[in-house]
């Protein structure tokens, strides 16, 4: 593959066992990238590594919810990889919206998994890449972060905060030649959404992974995936609240 993709050779993926991240890893392996994969479940991690056979792959287990261990997790990953051209942070979970409304512990877990844990990885990663003056960072967020909706506003709040953080980080790292890509995914047909009724707007992991890799290669600031969300979300974001609350397909549970 010619162009920007040729420069992405050493790839680090956090949350590599998610359905989407695993497909990104397989695509990277197919083009010969050197991979280091980090995730919590060693059995699932071994299976993703097996799917990447033919490329040089190393793995590392970590629980990103253990915030005080994430800087060391990053240091170990960078040591294993030698140097990094591209980082993808792909972990997260929807959580239980109703539980998060009744229990701060549940709300805090959703915020920690989807926001705080990502920041605890980004700080050491950004510092290292800024010092090296090279590299690309991609972080999977969600269209849910564009507007609070009753069905998932705790999760959406975490992703919305992450979007703002990435905006600032992107501008900070711009002069260092380090790109930061916000990957705003719509719902994807994965185990994370197994309890959700599927419809035509659900993406498929393989096609979503291809779009993610294209966005990282092109070093775009922000990508809606699938791309039709770029046209859809401004309508959702800008609908007046008095009207939004009366439209059950937007404001319903």
- The reported pLDDT for the residue numbered 201 is 74
| Average pLDDT score over residue span 219-224 | 97
Higher confidence at residue 157 or residue 7? 157
**Degrees, nearest 5: CA angle 72-75-80:** 125
Under DSSP, the state recorded for 253 is: -
Q: How confident is the model at residue 250 (pLDDT cuts 50, 70, 90)?
A: confident
Distances (CA, A) of 198 to 123, 187, 190, 204, 250: 36, 9, 10, 11, 16
Q: How confident is the model at residue 200 (pLDDT cuts 50, 70, 90)?
A: low
| Average pLDDT score over residue span 115-140 | 97
| Average pLDDT score over residue span 41-50 | 97
Residue 107 near residue 231 (C-beta atoms within 8 A): no
223 Cβ neighbours under 8 A, 6+ residues apart: 181, 182, 183, 184, 211, 212, 215
Report the C-alpha gap between 53 and 216 in whole angstroms. Answer: 22
Task: Judge whether residue 4 has pLDDT over 50.
Answer: no
- The reported pLDDT for the residue numbered 3 is 41
Q: Which of 8-17, 122-131, 177-186 has the lowest mean pLDDT?
A: 8-17
Q: Is the peptide bond before 226 cis (omega within 30 degrees of 0)?
A: yes
- The reported pLDDT for the residue numbered 187 is 85
**Degrees, nearest 5: CA angle 156-60-219:** 55
- The reported pLDDT for the residue numbered 48 is 97
CATH number given to 3-251: 3.40.50.720
Q: For the chain, give the percent of residues with pLDDT over 70.
A: 92
Report the C-alpha gap between 90 and 87 in whole angstroms. Answer: 10
Would the pTM count as exceeding 0.75?
yes
Q: How confident is the model at residue 193 (pLDDT cuts 50, 70, 90)?
A: low
């Amino acid at each position: 593959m010619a162009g920007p993709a040729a420069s992405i050779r050493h790839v680090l993926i956090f949350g590599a066992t998610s359905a989407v991240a695993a497909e990104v890893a397989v695509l990277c392996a197919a083009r010969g990238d050197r991979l280091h994969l980090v995730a919590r479940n060693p059995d699932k991690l071994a299976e993703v590594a097996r799917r990447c056979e033919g490329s040089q792959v190393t793995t590392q287990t970590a629980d990103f919810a253990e915030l005080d261990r994430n800087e060391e997790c990053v240091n170990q990953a960078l040591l294993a990889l030698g140097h990094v051209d591209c980082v993808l942070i792909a972990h997260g979970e929807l959580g239980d919206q109703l539980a998060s409304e009744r229990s701060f512990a549940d709300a805090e877990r959703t915020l920690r998994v989807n926001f705080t844990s990502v920041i605890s990885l980004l700080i050491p990663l950004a510092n290292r890449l800024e010092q090296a003056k090279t590299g690309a960072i991609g972080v999977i967020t969600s269209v849910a972060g564009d507007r609070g909706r009753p069905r998932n506003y705790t999760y959406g709040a975490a992703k919305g905060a992450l979007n703002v953080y990435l905006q600032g980080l992107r501008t900070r790292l711009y002069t260092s030649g380090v790109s930061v890509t916000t990957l705003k995914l719509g719902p994807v047909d994965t185990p994370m959404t197994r309890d959700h009724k599927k419809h035509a707007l659900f993406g498929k992991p393989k096609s979503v992974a291809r779009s993610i890799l294209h966005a990282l290669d092109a070093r775009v600031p922000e990508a809606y995936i699938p791309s039709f969300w770029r046209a859809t979300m401004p309508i959702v974001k800008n609908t007046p609240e008095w009207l939004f609350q009366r439209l059950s397909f937007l404001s319903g549970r």
